[in-house]
A and B are shown apart, each in its own frame.
Chain A
């Protein structure tokens, strides 16, 4: 027996036999199997023609609206107005603000200026506190125009995954430089070692007679601010 007896080591099973047997079997099973080489003649990252920036945003917004997200477009200097408008329209007061979310994107840097009760996650917030929050505001990592997808990578201004899951309202700011044309363009910008959440519209189900219903467990309201510089 190894001398390290770690009581709190997660269960590591005694399936070495199966491990070796499975590996032996799959190797024997595919001996001599030489499939055709992979040809990537689909549109890859950066494929031409690339849509111009205007079209890119237009397509993104069209897709987002199609999936029942509400969208506003504004200048980067006006983000705070758009964010505040979404929050107040939903009467959201207790709002989760992840670490790194720019102060200038809220209507003020203090609660009294912004009229919000900011919940920061340095505690960290408990699941019950998150569940009781009215909403969450975040940045994002990438947005994919063609599919209307916003990707979060738990980076600055986004926080850990639970923050954008439990509150019923998610307001997300996308800047124009974060928008890519298609899925292959997005993967190249993402780090697989970060936890990633791809969001395309609010939570939805079609399980009841195939009626699409917005909102089951994730945020039922997704609000997107698309910000352009200048």
Chain B
């Protein structure tokens, strides 16, 4: 409590310009990780099916709205306007939340956010907390930090439960366990549920409704008895102090309604200025995300309501590298992202590799621009290259983030950064940056590499001509398919695929 009177000096501010190293934003080099993924046929098949289905659903519900283009433009403009006055909006949100009985905390980085949440849990004497799926808390590695403090965090989203019980990592923003098939899920439930709580019912089959029922039974008592919940937020409305979470299963409602103490960790980019602005995002988000006109449940709350829901509400405002992105005019649009995952589902690279290859909890095209910016390019130098710059991500993005252009500028930053990889890798990045900075060059290069397919064994290159051999000397490079991503996409669209 004694540090409060210490003024915020310049030196202090520059101590945390980037996301701290504790969370899940760093991975293996993308090409190496992608090699593993490409060699896993089930993963590729599941991801391929999932992205195809969601893409089609999205296309049809987006087509239902004849003002989609206008909504998209407004979605982008409102986020930009929010950023321009973010300081004021943050202060307004704080005032409104506090006026309604909530407590607002400010976390410069992951470590500070984790410390705050742990302290709240200690004061609430919570040994267990229930969690509703939240990318922000994954970003900061909250579950691990809580575990170190002796507090068990229980994920309640079905997919997150599968991931947590199976002790692995999410592979998609929206359907994080899509890499698991039903019999694996049954096996995980049978094996693990009993170790941590209510066991799986006897004779559990791999029928999806039976698996969903098993999750319902497993978690029910936990919802009814746990004192503290942790959530993320999809939006925070500055003018009213309202926080919003969208979900499907009802686990979100459980977490947001039943426990005595609620902690919401929200990135500072989640703000929107006014209540009315929600009319734009409530239309853009569900249609882009799950391809539904509206997701089954959306909860909105403002501070604490006497006799309804938690008695204590804490809102943790998280910077963790965001203010640094904000300062970069080229990178800034990434902060518009509403995490709908539409860009993943149209990405030919993501479709083939899945989310794990990106190494960060933010996968796909948005991850390729967001993760390196949050961590600094030196820590994630390969991600900006995990794209063919086909432009599909930009077209579907409901807030019009021009991801391809941002990737090109990030590639230039990697090439210029003396700390990014070793000398050979930098040479590759420079060449690739050159080649990829012009679509025609990249297309040409891909065609060249396609010829190399005859030389490749089992779908990966072992030896490439310079400068690419610097890369393949230490790892395989996924062989370009017979049809390049770009050709593939062009063919898809000409064939009347997704808008």
Contact surface of A with B, Cβ cutoff 8 Å:
10-30, 33-45, 63, 67, 124, 127-128, 131, 144, 146-149, 154, 160-162, 165, 183-184, 187-188, 192-211, 213, 215-219
Contacts and interface: CB of A to CB of B under 8 A. Distances in A.
B77 A37 contact: yes
6 contacts: A17-B3, A26-B90, A29-B327, A127-B258, A160-B309, A210-B50
Given A26-B86, A43-B67, A213-B209, A187 B276 contact: yes
A192 B50 CA distance: 35
B100 interface: yes
Given A10-B312, A30-B83, A200-B295, A21 B212 contact: no
Given A22-B268, A38-B77, A39-B74, A209 B123 contact: no
Contacts of A27: 86-87
Grouping DSSP codes into helix (H, G, I), strand (E, B) and loop, the B interface class, with mixed when no group exceeds half, is helix
A42 B71 contact: yes
A167 B168 CA distance: 33
Contact of B106 (A22, A204, A215): A22
A195 B293 contact: no
B420 interface: no
B346 to A, nearest CB: 16
A38 B309 CA distance: 35
Interface string B249-289: 11101100110000000001000000110111011001000
B70 A42 contact: yes
A169 B120 CA distance: 35
A206 B212 CA distance: 10
A23 B302 CA distance: 22
A18 B87 contact: no
Given A23-B91, A203-B249, A165 B296 contact: no
Given A15-B112, A67-B296, 4 more contacts: A14-B1, A160-B308, A195-B305, A209-B49
Contact of B8 (A12, A21, A162): A21
Nearest to B256: A161
Given A23-B91, A40-B74, A183-B282, A206 B112 contact: no
A42 B282 CA distance: 13
B195 interface: no
Interface string B295-336: 111111110010111001010010100011011010010000
Contacts of A26: 86-87, 90, 268, 323, 326
A209 B177 CA distance: 9
A165 B250 contact: yes
B446 interface: no
Contacts of A13: 105, 116, 119
Contacts of B296: 67, 199-204, 218
A199 B250 CA distance: 10
Given A23-B91, A195-B305, A33 B224 contact: no
B389 interface: no
A183 B67 CA distance: 13
A216 B158 contact: yes
Contacts of B4: 14, 16-17
B175 A207 contact: yes
Contacts of A195: 299-302, 305, 308-309
Contact of A21 (B12, B185, B237): B12
B126 to A, nearest CB: 12
B451 to A, nearest CB: 37
Nearest to B301: A195
Given A131-B220, A183-B283, A207-B162, A25 B276 contact: no
Interface string B170-205: 000001111001100100000000000000000000
Interface in B469-486: none
Interface string B404-426: 00000000000000000000000
Nearest to A220: B216
